[in-house]
Structure formats: C-alpha cells, structure tokens
Amino acid sequence: MWENMEIGLEKAGPAQLKVKPAQESLGFGGHFTDHMFLMKWDRQKGWHDAKVCPYQPFILDPAAMVFHYGQAIFEGLKAYKNTNGQVFLFRPRDNFERMNSSALRMCMPRLPVEKVFKGLKALVYLDRDWIPTVPGATLYIRPTMIAVEPALGVRPAGEYFFFIIMSPVGAYYREGFSPTRIFVTDKYVRAVKGGVGHVKTSGNYAASIMAAEEAHKAGYTQVLWLDACDRKFIEEVGTSNIFFKINDELITPPLGGSILPGITRDSVIQLALKWGVKVAERLITIDEVIAASNDGSLQETFGTGTAAVISPVGEFCYQDQKYLVNNGTTGPLAQRLFDELQAIQNGQQEDPFKWITRVG
Ligand code: COI
C-alpha cells in the first residue's frame, strides 16, 4: 500500500504565513516554518493520508499512548542554502534508515523511506525562503513518530502519526563554535546495554535533563556520560558523540548498543580517514583521558552531532578536578572538520562521499 501512497499538498493561505525571525539571533528551535509534513498509520490502512500542509497543532486524545508510555522516536537533519540559492540536504536517507532502526526497537511501524524522502523534499522546497543564509545558521529538520491510539494497556500502539517540522536555527550551544566546558558525571547514567541508548527515542532525552541541569548550575555546558556498569568507560557528551585526539590518534567510543550511531560521527570518521588521520573506535576510560591530559598527550576533544555540528571541549571537570584541553582553545583538527563539513553541506566544496542531495 506504501507504493500507492500519494502526497497531498495544502498550501498555507496568506493569513497563515508567519513573519520570519531575524537570522542573526535565531537561537535553537524556537521558530517554525509555514508548513509541515504529516501522515498517519493504522493496522488496516498502513501509512496513509500523507500530505504537506500548513504548520498546525494536533488534537490528541488524552489517552494517546505517547503520553503514557513514551512510544516516540525522532531524527534531526539540516537543509542548507548556498550563495546561488541552491538548497541541499545532508545524508537525509541515513536519517530515515536510522529512524527505521529506532522504529524496530520501539515496536513502531517502518517508514517508507523513498516516499518520506519525497515528502521532505517537497516540504523543504516549499519553505525554502526560511533557510537562513547568514554564516552558522541553517534550517533544522525534525522528523518525528508518535503513538496516538487512545489506550492504557502497555503494548505497541495500533495508530501512529509521523510528521516533519522545520526550524531556522543558529548554534545549538550558547558558545557557538567556541570551546565548551564539560562536567563528567559519575552520579547519573544515560543508558545500559540491552536498553535503548542507541535509539533516538524521546525518553533518553527526558532522562538526561536532570544531569544537564545540575551541570548548568555548576557552570558547565553539558554532561559527559560514563558507562552504567563500571562508570569509567566514556560514552557520549550531552546530545552528541565524543572524540579525543591523543598522541595523534583520533579515538571515539565504539557503537556497543548504548551509544547513538551519529551520522556526524560517521562523517567525521570518514573524513579523518581520508585525510590519513589514524582513527580508533575503541573503549576509552575517563582515567585514560585524565592520564593523557596530565602527560600532555591529550591534544583535542570535541563532540559531534547534527545540532551541534563539531563542538570543541575546552575544559572538563571530573571528581572536582578541572582539566584544560588544548589550553581551552579549539584544536586544529576540530577546526578543519568543522570547515570541511560546512563547506560540503553548503555545496561549496566537492562532495567525494555523495553525502549531499540537491533539493532545488
Ligand atoms: C541532533 O543533533 O540533531 C539532536 O537530535 C540533538 C537534539 C536533541 C538537539
């Protein structure tokens, strides 16, 4: 039935069009474009009623299962516009494939990737005037699936909404591309193996908020998560994957089931390998990082993610001790990765990996 799914188009009328915010002071995720994509799923019809329509609220039953048991998954990707007005998406199919892995783990229906991709391209093209053009600003795209069947039994829901909304954004962190300060927590954990840490499901983010709040109160930008069993192996930083450059080797924790398989993480690994940088996906403990900081072999640390792109770490705090990384400044590899990724994403540079898709 997916194959026969047409995508409807309802354009916003003049009275529904919003005033666009100033591009210089966007912040992250506070403004939304004029249109959205929406489609529905139930057991009888599968995916149906796919449409691009004016951005609008939903009316949901208070018993909708997402409110009670949290069957909700999402993705984050971005659209970019170059100086000629051409529009690009970065690795969009990878996001929808990852969403399908999340759907499988959360007992939610599989997305028809090509149809959804067609809907996304129509949406981005329609709202292309919302894509910021000032340096550092982009259009963040949030595909989301939620369980909407009204029922209180704990089981997979029989009805879902899938929607895509879009938000013009500036930098995710207040620091922008400047180095962040990171608090290493051994009090809270993010995920356990066998759980859903590798899944982009909303509950993971809800569960992370308290640790992040405590870190903010102590003056830090984000939390560095350690593994749940030994509380010594490094997992992720905030909502991003993490990399360390030690003795000229780029090290990142392996995807062992508790870490999100980041698309920016994968892009960074591929770029670094292409440049001849030695890369290791291996377990790394906080003690190894501290030892490297103490003996001067820790050259750089940075987070990677769609929202944060590359986010250098200038300092971390573990058990009341503070450690500076690269004297608190952005390292050359983080800078090169940031510049290269941005140039590819903006269509300003050759794209040897075929990562970008032109929309219009
Ligand atoms: C992203 O990097 O796209 C994310 O999903 C992180 C987000 C929670 C802001």
Ligand 1 pocket by C-beta < 6 Å: which residues?
Answer: 76, 205, 239, 305-307
Q: Say whether pLDDT at 225 is over 70.
A: yes
In this prediction, residue 357 carries a pLDDT of 94
Could you tell which of 306, 311, 341 is best to mutate to test the pocket of ligand 1, judged by most ligand atoms within 8 Å of the CB? 306
Protein residue whose Cα sits closest to atom 3 of ligand 1: 76
Close Cβ partners of 114 (under 8 Å, ≥ 6 residues apart): none
Residue 242 to residue 284: CA distance in whole angstroms: 11
Ranges of beta strands (E only) in the chain are 8-9, 35-42, 46-54, 72-74, 77-81, 87-90, 138-147, 159-169, 180-185, 222-226, 234-237, 241-246, 249-252, 278-281, 298-305, 309-318, 321-324, 356-358
Residue 234 CA: distances (Å) to CA of 74, 154, 218, 254, 259? 24, 33, 21, 10, 10
Reference 321, options 159, 151, 186; nearest CA is 186
The model carries a pTM of 0.95
262 Cα nearest atom in ligand 1: 2
Partners of 243 in beta bridges: 302
Residue 131 to residue 347: CA distance in whole angstroms: 14
Q: Say whether pLDDT at 5 is over 60.
A: no
In this prediction, residue 176 carries a pLDDT of 74
For 273, the 3-state DSSP assignment is helix
Residue 357 to residue 349: CA distance in whole angstroms: 13
| Exposure class string for 111-131: b at 16+ Cβ within 10 A, else e | bbbebbbbbbbbbbebbbebb
Domain with CATH 3.30.470.10 in the chain: 2-169
Give residue 165 CA to ligand 1 midpoint distance, Å. Answer: 14
What's the rounded mean pLDDT across residues 332-355? 94
Classify domain 180-345 at the CATH topology level. Answer: D-amino Acid Aminotransferase; Chain A, domain 2 (3.20.10)
For 181, the 3-state DSSP assignment is strand
What mean pLDDT value characterizes the chain? Answer: 95
Q: Say whether pLDDT at 3 is over 60.
A: no
200 Cα nearest atom in ligand 1: 5
Structure tokens at 313: 């770490």
Q: Say whether pLDDT at 226 is over 70.
A: yes
140 Cα nearest atom in ligand 1: 3
Render pLDDT for 16-54 as a digit per residue (tens, 0 to 9): 999 999 998 899 999 999 999 999 999 999 999 999 999
Render pLDDT for 284-297 as a digit per residue (tens, 0 to 9): 999 999 999 999 99
Q: How many CB atoms lie within 10 A of CB 187?
A: 10
Residue 91 to residue 166: CA distance in whole angstroms: 16
CATH of domain 2-169: 3.30.470.10
